[in-house]
Homo-oligomer: A and B are copies of this chain.
């Protein structure tokens, strides 16, 4: 008898039919002889509806009151799903985040789990009940309700699986697993049987938004085996674990990210400390810089500095730099919002030569110009014109996977 944590997102419980679909998945898992803890998000559009209600009242709601408001969404879901399980004859009980023992820090709207006291969950499991837990929420030290922010329910599920030493944590979604590329755009994209935590982290950060990064980090930290699986089609999904063994697959995926702006500063004095000045300024503004490209110094004693930031941070970064332009020698600052990042990910690439050249050759064959390059042990990213990104993904996918 295994203990399985199953997480279902908002679309999986959006109406009566989907709720019973989830209830039957849980019932089947239970009837196969497993203990089951279910983590569930707010129904379909509930969170948006609640945000709209708040927006009618104020354009600037306090984060504490927003969390108080939004936490009702999951509370509605757990009650309805538990009723559906009971209607199917499955013994079940719902628990809010705080009832399930989630203690968080004080950061309303993006709280982090500090402690998870599973006493109540374990006592309900011992009574042979399916335990239905509200994802996304917890309680801080002042006994105030907090929410975990984007993808919080995935994090709740992984944290429960870790604390309960569950045998597996299944993340049910609308897709059948993790693919080598976006299957809506690359018809030849294939589903991966297995993928490592690190590869999954790289893919997630590249815009393949199957799993929330915090949840994957947590799963890696506590070595919780994840399965990304469809709540519609009952076929095996993708296992995410420490060591993945997929014969002959050099790379696991090709991903595209359009949320990229390239900021360039020309003619920065080629003296020590310049990069530090630029990037400490951006860090103060809480702007995350991804790829950095620095040219070699030229004869005029200057160099060019380029880096990428998320699109939403582009104007903030540019204006911060312009306000402090004198510190960088007054060089011209430009913002390019029409780039995309295309990346390949694969833990095997570090031990295989020629991966980068195969990728660059595929782009060259399509006459696609590479603006920037970044590499890590399991990833190679290029910045190219966003209009060529889809063509680039297809070409690279062809070169490696088929």
Contacts and interface: CB of A to CB of B under 8 A. Distances in A.
Interface of A: 16, 19-20, 50, 53-54, 56-58, 61-62, 64-66, 68-69, 71-72, 75-76, 78-80, 82-84, 86-87, 93-94, 96, 99, 120, 143-145
A72 B65 contact: no
Contact of A75 (B20, B58, B71, B94): B71
Copies in the complex: 2
Given A57-B16, A58-B86, A50 B76 contact: yes
Contacts of A20: 57
Contacts of A68: 75, 78-79, 82, 94, 96
B83 A62 contact: yes
Pick the 7 closest A-B CB pairs, nearest first. Answer: A69-B79, A72-B72, A68-B79, A58-B87, A16-B56, A57-B83, A65-B79
Given A53-B80, A54-B83, A83-B54, A120 B143 contact: yes
- Per DSSP, are chain A's interface residues mostly helix, strand or loop, or mixed? helix
A58 B83 contact: yes
Nearest to A53: B80
Contacts of A143: 99, 120
Contacts of A144: 99
A102 to B, nearest CB: 14
A390 to B, nearest CB: 41
Given A61-B83, A66-B79, 8 more contacts: A16-B57, A53-B80, A54-B79, A54-B80, A61-B86, A65-B82, A69-B80, A72-B76
A159 B99 CA distance: 25
Contacts of A99: 143-144
B86 A65 contact: yes
